[in-house]
Structure 1
């Protein structure tokens, strides 16, 4: 695979995401932490884990953490940072669009600013098999901002080629794709970064199975 993501040093990516006026790393960490507090999952998967942004906010009660990223250097750094802090850490290198990347079901899947770089209609159908029956999928999409580039200018020039492959995903398109797989959208809210860019946070779940009518079986 010849993806520009493979050419971005982690230090450049993290430096770019943390720049004053961008500050998207903190935004994603906050959204992730909020989802953990809201749903209290026992297991979680972060697709596009980069260097483990937000992993420091995972509580000890979570017994299993899965991290997936396309860039092997990102995954190696995540392992170095968290292998001694998270007891059951599963890390894998690969493209979430590929069936070669799969993991046992978790209670929460987090996709923060990932769907802009993949085919949504290829990725979302794979999510139900990797989610427990009562689990949740939390996504963060970048929204169009009038007058702004999709990838903000910064001194970290290695991230600029990402602007050639990013494709913003309308929240309604994501909702439609998720609902086609049986998901129900529980929440959709707009958030604004300190840099002024807008993002949409959406929460999905599978509907509960109909209760068995035990009286009818008697």
Structure 2
């Protein structure tokens, strides 16, 4: 059975995310700039790269390699077209992978970025991905919903996301911290950005205790 994310058009996804009533595309973009700038690393991996939102903040003088991972091949094709300069130079490397069943396909990277991704694979699968990539730093953005019944904001595109109910997991900050502690990562920082409709994006960063 196909993952629902393989059937959602990129235009529908991005147009929904950037609506004034949702504002997730814009908020995530600024949060990703901070994620890329934060740590003294030269390699990074973005899980669920979608259309490449935020990749324009990759500093070519800092990063030798940035991996963009997604399950949707059409999304990766769009990223390759939008960031042709980065792919041609070899800085941006794109990889199609099902993170639930294929974590072993992932190369290692010093920084792992997972924004609005853990919701769709679950804590246990994410822990296996982290162990496979073995980063020093992990920076996650999760969506916190006061209205758990309506975790997708209303919009003209909402029915494009109907099948996501099959794979969505409600996120809890404490549960994520416990999961990461279990694989050797301690919480390093946390910040929150409020969104419309009673939602918020929470960024939680972790560091691999083995590097300390």
TM-score, normalised to structure 1's length? 0.87
**Does the CA-based 8 Å contact 1:20-1:195 persist in structure 2?**
no
Counterpart residue number, 1:145: 146
Q: SS where residue 162 of structure 1 aligns?
A: helix
TM-score, normalised to structure 2's length? 0.89
User: Within the alignment, does 1:115 sit opposite 2:118 as a pair?
Assistant: yes
User: Within the alignment, does 1:95 sit opposite 2:98 as a pair?
Assistant: yes
Q: SS where residue 105 of structure 2 aligns?
A: coil
Q: How does 1:8-47 map to 2 (within 5 A)?
A: 8-47=8-47
Counterpart residue number, 1:69: 70
Counterpart residue number, 1:216: none
Equivalent residue for 2:176, pick from 174, 177, 184: 174
Aligned-pair Cα RMSD in Å? 2.0
Q: SS where residue 52 of structure 1 aligns?
A: coil
Moved over 3 A (4+): none
User: Following TM superposition, by how much is the alpha carbon of 1:79 offset from its aligned partner in structure 2, in angstroms?
Assistant: 1.1
**Alignment length (residue pairs):** 208
Cα distance in 2, alignment partners of residues 104 and 27 from structure 1 = 28
Cα distance in 1, alignment partners of residues 210 and 144 from structure 2 = 31
Counterpart residue number, 1:184: 186
Cα distance in 2, alignment partners of residues 101 and 58 from structure 1 = 25
User: Following TM superposition, by how much is the alpha carbon of 1:126 offset from its aligned partner in structure 2, in angstroms?
Assistant: 2.8
User: Following TM superposition, by how much is the alpha carbon of 1:122 offset from its aligned partner in structure 2, in angstroms?
Assistant: 2.0
Q: SS where residue 193 of structure 2 aligns?
A: strand
Query: For structure 2, which runs of at least 5 residues remain unmatched after alignment?
Result: none
Out of 2-11 and 147-156, give the one that drifted further.
147-156
